A and B are shown apart, each in its own frame.
Chain A
Amino acid sequence: MITLILLLFLGGAIVTWLGGKLSPIVGDMLFLVTIIVPAGMFFTGVTVGEVTHIHALGLTLTWGLSPLSYLFSMIVVGLGILLAIYAVPFMKGKQKTGAFYFNFTLSVMAMLGILVSKDWVSFFIFWEIMTWSSYLMVILNGKDVQRVGIKYFIFSAIGAYAMLMAMVVMNSQLGSFLMADTFNNFQHLTVGNQILIPILLLTAFGVKSAMMPLHVWAPDAYSNAPMAYTGLFSGALSKMGIYGMVLVMVTMINQLPEGTLIRDIIAWIGGFTAAAATLWAITQDDGKKLLAWSSVGQMGYIIVGVAIGTPLAMLAALFLVVVHAMFKGSLFMVVGAIEKQTGTTDFREINGLIRKMPWTFISALISVIALAGIPPLAGFVSKWMLYEALIQNNNYILVILLFFASTAGFLYCYKFLHGYFLGQEEPEWAHVKEAPVTMVVPMLLLAIGTFVLGTFPQLLFKPIDSALQYVGYDATGGHLWGQSILFSEWGDVVTLQPILYAVLAVFVFFALFLWFKGTKGTRYVSTKDISSSGELPKEWENLTFKVNFMQPFERVIEPFLKRQIDKYYTAFGNGLEALFEFTRRIYTGNGQTYAIYAILFLALLLLFRVNLFG
């Protein structure tokens, strides 16, 4: 069954691509069918625990679904379907639709493949398919191809090769590629390998989940890919890194005596990722970039949770994984809709779309609230649990760091909302209409999903609980959340609902108030036409107040921003290229020199022949 689903995806991808050559509509239809039919089959036909074997090159590839991967596959499939529906209108009239559909389908396939892989070889194969299909997506629009695309690919390749090395070493030492075997027999490795392998694997997963020193590809890649894909990219694809990290943390690091140290290091890295990415997000003027950095930041929270590794932290992390996929998916869809309707995503150019695109605004609002972690919505639940887990673990400084990041997160959340939707309407954007229904519905669905999960978190706790049991945590009988002050002090989860309703009522009131009252008595002033101190601004100078929106804040954090890791990498890369350029001058182009090399080599071998051949 699993094989059939994966094959359907693969065949569908090719058929879609070919069909798209015939006519765009056929391509669209085929695309939807390709995503939805296997996805439906996945929901209905696949049961947890089912195992398939495939033989290749003397290796046995084992595929099956575990509770943990079931949790992640829900994200993949769900997000996949919604984004597919969203993508059809989004891609209408754009170039390279065929390539988009092809890679989209392949990405979904690859992610499902990763999740069902029970051995490292198939895990790696799908991992690489995922990498190159997402790479082709990142460079699909042809902007900044060499810089962004290559950066993404280099980091992915480093990660992938680290994983490859880890898996061949494990295979040679333990004689099996099966994940279960490698985890169970981890103790049999030599001490060096016991350290080496987790580090290699963590590098691999850290790249995908944009962990701090390896994150530099992420903002550019997220913002460069088509928005209809970025939702999947940030929501599901980067979660594959988390998936791997959970496996490694629980099964390998736990068995190490030095495990706590590694855990702490990773947790701190995650914390820094969260904080730094948040600061970076604040300074962005482009919605895509902002969300991209925000994604990196959120991954930081998740990494902290996974690294701490207490049941509560794990619960928080996995909860955040799911809800992050939802609200970030929704937000990227929002940006995509705005891009589709206005043609730009720059805060400094767009104003006051709240009336033009109300439904988009509503989904953006709900998702942003969730992102910021404001109480009633899902983001709050996960963050709260994370703080608690950290405090239980006596990581107070880390809590402060995360709390700082989370608070700073409000700033960019506000910037996002304000940048697009609030403020004065510009005549320039008067023609803008609401996005097509097929684009609005998916994002609304996701937004409502966050809402529901924020209200009824126990809906998610069940599957997370069984996933955690699968990776080796004690069964909690469904009362894992009993550890949380939030839930135990207030008695039961149900008590969240009154709060929510109250907040919602206030919120609706203000919304209605603004709706009726807001625009009355205001006068139109072009936001782009400000003269200051007698200096007449030139026409092309954009002097809206949105330029340097957060200037005072930016001034404060400037010292941090200066230390951009990206720059170090670039310098390193340039150095390497110079070295390469120097090295290739060995080939002087003079045939005689080559002959001299031959004689030189001969002389060297003759001189050292005793060392070589005894």
Chain B
Amino acid sequence: MVGTPVLFIAIPLLAAFLIPLTGMVWKESVRIIPGLILAYLLVLAINLLSYVTVNGPIVEVIAGWAPPIGINLVFNAFSGFLVTIMVFMGLLVWLYSYRFKSNVEYEAARKYFLLLMMLVTGSVGIVLTGDIFNMFVFIEITGISGYALTAFYTGRDSAEASFKYLIMGSIASVFLLLAIMIIYSQLGTLNMADVASKMHLMDPKYKAVSFILFVIALGIEAEVFPLNGWAPDAYAEAPGPVGAAFSGIVVKAAVYALIRYTYTIFDLSGAFDLLIIVGLMTLVIAEVAAIRQEKLKRMLAYSSIGQMGLVFVSFGIGTKEGVFAALFIMLNHAIIKPLLFFSGSYLVYHSKKKTISDVDGMGKLAPFTSLLFALGAFSIVGLPPFAGFWSKLSFLMAAADSNMLLIIGLILTVSVVELVYYMRVVNRIFFFKRASHLLARRPTFNAYIVMSVLAVLILVIGFYPDSVSTYLHNAANSLFDKSQYIHSVLTATIQ
């Protein structure tokens, strides 16, 4: 082992506090250090993940107090898998925005990269932590970075989007605290594993109320249907890379939290039905809204929400295959959506209104970017032989195994809608005459690299899905093995 999970939090925080100092000495460092940190975290994540695959979960004790007392971090196949994706996406987003911001002055650059790094750290913290109140703190870290990054551009709409996000975020944190306190009052502990092991002692009434409060609170962050009004605005108004970070990183963390509560902590059987209902609503409403969008980024945002709905349905199936499919969808979504956001934001770069009609005929002007967008679009709607197909297939297989024919039918019908709006955009890019006189913006070198990496990943997973399936299986198994989670946490000692 080369490190421990706590470094995922400690190192970025140390760096965050250091950056203002180094910035006084060497201005460029405020942009480089976050990248170095994220790269280091990626190395760490990959190392730990391979260690975990062989040796079982790592439970990190903090402040020298073994789990039921102190806070702990859990790096197992499931959380480790998500952390690896997140850190990887964080690094890509950093790389993408590195040159992107070269003309912005020092102060803005410092804040941007700092907030970006903390966004990643907060999300990683949500996934790693094994303590319900600690999760609240990380959710707030992620939230504040998110609000600030959403309002980062000085336009008026970005502030509006950020304010909506903030209102919803505040309500979420209120309910989250309420739920945490109900659990604490009943079980006298805040440790997830401890709570999970004692959950059967809790009065069903409190159980239901606290679970509902958790669903509301985390559902707001995870973009569940009636709670996701903020999401499209925030996605569309945040700077391009941040939108990608939201869909690739932040939402994943929130989904993780919700899933952790459903699967490990609570033992409510109705929770799975709730996930399915909520997931279907999210999916249908989001896709339906996406088809009528005029702005490219909003369309992508709604599509992203829809994908999350699919993830929820898939988790709600409640079988190991379902979890596998859900994780696969999350992985694909984390790869594909950033590609769409990146290439999409270059396609409408010079346009004022960023409407879909601005991409007309971009295929000629910016062939590479357009091609990547098309690749992403083909992949996300699940056309073989690209990555999205395999996740869709595994989802459908999982659903069919549970005899959910109606749900399969509904989801496939909605998929047609999804297909239509993506194909409309692809049509416009390649087969329409250029209407506006705006020129295409050439992606920067870094952006080229980032987009190419994502595209290659899509193709690799598409042609050789086995490359990731081991990790997905391990992750799914580890989520399912509740008793092992509880056992490994509660017997953890200081290493």
- Which chain A residues have a beta carbon within 8 Å of chain B's beta carbons? 55-58, 99, 121, 124-126, 128-129, 131-132, 135, 139-142, 145-146, 149-150, 153-154, 157-158, 161-162, 164-165, 168-169, 171-172, 196, 577, 579-581, 583-584, 586-589, 591-595, 597-602, 605-606, 609-614
Q: What CA separation (Å) do A597 and B293 show in the bound complex?
A: 21
The segment out of B79-87, B108-116, B247-255, B389-397 that lies at the interface is B389-397
Given contacts A595-B171, A602-B216, A612-B274, contact A580 B292 (CB under 8 A): yes
Q: Which of B168, B207, B216, B389 contacts A594 (CB 8 A)?
A: B168
Q: Please tell me if B405 contacts chain A, counting CB pairs below 8 Å.
A: yes
The residue in B212, B285, B394 that gathers the most chain A C-beta atoms within 10 A of its C-beta is: B212
Q: Which of B216, B400, B419, B431 contacts A153 (CB 8 A)?
A: B419
- Contact, CB under 8 Å: A56 / B465: yes
- Contact, CB under 8 Å: B229 / A587: yes
Given contacts A153-B419, A169-B405, A584-B292, contact A605 B412 (CB under 8 A): no
Q: What CA separation (Å) do A336 and B207 show in the bound complex?
A: 71
- Contact, CB under 8 Å: B431 / A142: yes
Q: What CA separation (Å) do A128 and B378 show in the bound complex?
A: 11
Given contacts A606-B212, A609-B208, contact A121 B288 (CB under 8 A): no
Q: Please tell me if B359 contacts chain A, counting CB pairs below 8 Å.
A: no
Scoring B residues 460 to 473 as 1 if CB is less than 8 Å from chain A, else 0, what string do you get?
00001110010000
**Chain A residues with CB under 8 A of B400:** 165, 168-169, 171-172
Q: Which of B227, B288, B292, B420 contacts A598 (CB 8 A)?
A: B227
| Nearest-neighbor residue (CB-CB) of A579 within chain B | B288
**Chain B residues with CB under 8 A of A612:** 208, 270, 273-274
Q: Please tell me if B167 contacts chain A, counting CB pairs below 8 Å.
A: yes
Q: What CA separation (Å) do A535 and B45 show in the bound complex?
A: 85
Q: Please tell me if B74 contacts chain A, counting CB pairs below 8 Å.
A: no
Given contacts A57-B394, A605-B212, contact A598 B270 (CB under 8 A): no
> Can you list 10 A-B pairs, Cβ within 8 angstroms, ordered by A?
A57-B465, A129-B383, A153-B420, A154-B419, A577-B292, A591-B229, A594-B164, A599-B171, A601-B226, A612-B208
Q: What CA separation (Å) do A172 and B172 show in the bound complex?
A: 39
**Chain B residues with CB under 8 A of A600:** 226
Q: What CA separation (Å) do A565 and B121 show in the bound complex?
A: 56
- Contact, CB under 8 Å: B229 / A125: no
**Chain A residues with CB under 8 A of B7:** none
Scoring B residues 421 to 449 as 1 if CB is less than 8 Å from chain A, else 0, what string do you get?
00110011011110000000000000000
- Contact, CB under 8 Å: A587 / B226: no
Q: List 9 additional contacts besides A161-B412, A172-B401, A605-B274; criterion CB under 8 Å.
A: A149-B427, A154-B419, A580-B417, A597-B229, A598-B168, A598-B226, A601-B219, A613-B211, A614-B269
- Contact, CB under 8 Å: A606 / B229: no
Interface residues of B in 199-228 (CB under 8 A from A): 204, 207-209, 211-213, 215-216, 219-220, 226-227
Q: Please tell me if B493 contacts chain A, counting CB pairs below 8 Å.
A: no
- Contact, CB under 8 Å: A583 / B408: no
Given contacts A164-B412, A594-B230, contact A150 B399 (CB under 8 A): no
Given contacts A57-B469, A150-B420, A591-B230, contact A145 B396 (CB under 8 A): no
- Which chain B residues have a beta carbon within 8 Å of chain A's beta carbons? 160, 163-164, 167-168, 171-172, 175, 204, 207-209, 211-213, 215-216, 219-220, 226-227, 229-230, 232-233, 268-271, 273-274, 285, 288-289, 291-293, 378, 383-385, 389-390, 393-394, 396-397, 399-401, 403, 405, 408-409, 412-413, 415-417, 419-420, 423-424, 427-428, 430-433, 464-466, 469
Q: Which of B227, B232, B432, B466 contacts A597 (CB 8 A)?
A: B227
| Nearest-neighbor residue (CB-CB) of A581 within chain B | B292
- Contact, CB under 8 Å: A601 / B216: yes
Q: What CA separation (Å) do A374 and B398 show in the bound complex?
A: 54
Q: What CA separation (Å) do A612 and B277 show in the bound complex?
A: 11
Q: What CA separation (Å) do A594 and B220 show in the bound complex?
A: 10
- Contact, CB under 8 Å: A124 / B384: yes
| Nearest-neighbor residue (CB-CB) of B166 within chain A | A591
- Contact, CB under 8 Å: B232 / A125: no
Main SS class of interface, A: helix
**Chain B residues with CB under 8 A of A153:** 419-420, 423
| Nearest-neighbor residue (CB-CB) of B381 within chain A | A157
Measured between C-beta atoms, what is the minimum distance from A538 to chain B in Å? 30
The 7 closest A-B pairs by CB, nearest first: A594-B229, A591-B164, A584-B289, A172-B400, A161-B412, A125-B384, A168-B400
**Chain B residues with CB under 8 A of A154:** 416, 419-420
Measured between C-beta atoms, what is the minimum distance from B258 to chain A in Å? 14
Q: Which of A132, A139, A171, A593 contacts B229 (CB 8 A)?
A: A593
| Nearest-neighbor residue (CB-CB) of A612 within chain B | B270
Q: What CA separation (Å) do A538 and B430 show in the bound complex?
A: 39
- Contact, CB under 8 Å: A613 / B268: yes
Q: Which of A140, A158, A196, A610 contacts B431 (CB 8 A)?
A: A140
Q: Which of A129, A594, A609 contacts B212 (CB 8 A)?
A: A609
**Chain A residues with CB under 8 A of B397:** 168, 171-172
- Contact, CB under 8 Å: A591 / B209: no
Measured between C-beta atoms, what is the minimum distance from A19 to chain B in Å? 15
Q: Which of A121, A584, A599, A613 contacts B204 (CB 8 A)?
A: A613
The residue in B232, B274, B384 that gathers the most chain A C-beta atoms within 10 A of its C-beta is: B384
**Chain A residues with CB under 8 A of B207:** 613
Measured between C-beta atoms, what is the minimum distance from A143 to chain B in Å? 9
Measured between C-beta atoms, what is the minimum distance from B275 to chain A in Å? 11
Measured between C-beta atoms, what is the minimum distance from A185 to chain B in Å? 16
Measured between C-beta atoms, what is the minimum distance from B73 to chain A in Å? 30
- Contact, CB under 8 Å: A150 / B268: no
- Contact, CB under 8 Å: B469 / A161: no
Given contacts A56-B465, A146-B427, A587-B232, contact A161 B292 (CB under 8 A): no
**Chain A residues with CB under 8 A of B409:** 165
Q: What CA separation (Å) do A172 and B403 show in the bound complex?
A: 8
**Chain B residues with CB under 8 A of A172:** 397, 400-401, 403
| Nearest-neighbor residue (CB-CB) of A57 within chain B | B465
**Chain A residues with CB under 8 A of B172:** 598
Q: Which of B160, B396, B433, B464 contacts A164 (CB 8 A)?
A: B396
| Nearest-neighbor residue (CB-CB) of A143 within chain B | B431
